[in-house]
């Protein structure tokens, strides 16, 4: 009864003062949580600003970390609308568990793996990692960090992984591995080319041969528990738009065709 009266009064008010059409009703605000690999952090900050220009009603929050940890959070019910993984492996797991909308999944980005050292280092090749004078080499944890998985694959293909076991230091994500090299805690590290590009405290001495590891592909998909699947789908579409592509390219990523 009260609701009917409110509607009647609202209609009378509009007739009295002259309400405009539906176009004046502001778009309802939407809060989206994007769980994304730490390696895309810098690019996403710019993309968020660009997206705000076309969808000011969308409030985007980033949940950044290693893809394995993020997938586990989603599996355990942590709030998330979109998952951007640095490896298909973790997206595959969530899809098998029925926790993403399979029809929303797409391969978005590609990256490469590089060996970095401090600027004054004399290390020049992967083979030099075996030197008796080199004490520590950092890489991501292979079981939870995609960059670590790719690093293990590459070192194994190069015949180095078993030999380097006593020297290996594992990071919780690729950003931590980069920080280990930047601060001199280790003498070399395996990180994504995109992360190395952003640092002036390391130098790239080698790129892992592409055939030494599985392709470094970043898939993205909508989490099935998302309360805003339409807004999430629109944002994923924006990630492939020309403005977003330009930002990704500037940070060293390439878009999957």
Domain with CATH 3.40.190.10 in the chain: 28-110+216-255, 113-212
By CB atoms closer than 10 A (0-12, 13-18, 19+), residue 85 is buried
Contact 91, 83 (CB under 8 A): yes
* Alpha carbon distance 207, 190 (integer Å): 9
Adjacent-strand bridge partners of 100: 223
Asked if residue 16 has pLDDT above 60, the reply is no
> Against a cut of 0.75, is the pTM above it?
yes
**Tens digit of each residue's pLDDT (9 = 90 or more) over 138-178:** 999 999 999 999 999 999 999 999 999 999 999 999 999 99
Q: Which of 167, 161, 160, 166 is nearest to 127 (CA)?
A: 160
For 107, phi then psi, to 5°, come to -80, 125
**Tens digit of each residue's pLDDT (9 = 90 or more) over 191-230:** 999 999 999 999 999 999 999 999 999 999 999 999 999 9
DSSP letter string over 65-85? E-HHHHHHHHHTT---SEEE-
Asked if residue 17 has pLDDT above 60, the reply is no
**CATH number given to 113-212:** 3.40.190.10
pLDDT category of residue 28 using cuts at 50, 70 and 90 = confident
* Alpha carbon distance 190, 177 (integer Å): 7
What is the pLDDT averaged over residues 71-81? Answer: 97
Say whether domain 28-110+216-255 belongs to CATH 3.40.50.2000. Answer: no
Asked if residue 5 has pLDDT above 80, the reply is no
Distance set, CA 146 to CA 51, 159, 172 (Å): 27, 20, 10
What is the pLDDT averaged over residues 88-111? Answer: 98
> Any idea which of 17-21, 47-51, 113-117 has the lowest mean pLDDT?
17-21
């Amino acid at each position: 009864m009260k609701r009917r009266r409110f509607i009647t009064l609202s209609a009378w008010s509009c007739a009295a003062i002259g309400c405009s059409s539906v176009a004046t009703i502001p778009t309802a605000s939407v809060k989206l949580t994007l769980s994304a690999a730490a390696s895309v952090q810098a690019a996403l900050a710019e993309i968020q600003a660009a997206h705000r220009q076309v969808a000011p009603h969308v409030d985007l929050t980033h949940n950044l970390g290693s893809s394995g940890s993020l997938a586990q959070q989603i599996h355990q019910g942590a709030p998330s609308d979109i998952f951007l993984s640095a490896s298909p492996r973790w997206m595959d797991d969530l899809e098998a568990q029925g926790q993403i909308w399979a029809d929303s999944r797409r391969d978005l980005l590609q990256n490469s793996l590089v060996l970095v050292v401090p600027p004054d280092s004399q290390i020049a090749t992967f083979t030099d990692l075996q030197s008796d004078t080199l004490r520590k080499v950092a890489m991501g944890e292979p079981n939870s960090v995609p960059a670590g998985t790719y690093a293990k694959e590459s070192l194994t293909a190069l015949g180095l992984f078993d030999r380097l076991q006593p020297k290996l230091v594992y990071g919780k994500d690729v950003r931590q591995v980069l920080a280990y090299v930047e601060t001199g805690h280790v003498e070399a590290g395996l990180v994504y080319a995109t992360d190395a590009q952003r640092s002036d405290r390391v130098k790239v001495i080698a790129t892992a041969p592409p055939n030494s590891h599985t392709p470094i592909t970043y898939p993205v998909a909508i989490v099935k528990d998302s309360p805003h699947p339409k807004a999430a789908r629109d944002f994923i579409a924006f990630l492939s738009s020309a403005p977003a592509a330009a930002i990704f390219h500037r940070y060293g990523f390439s878009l999957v065709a």
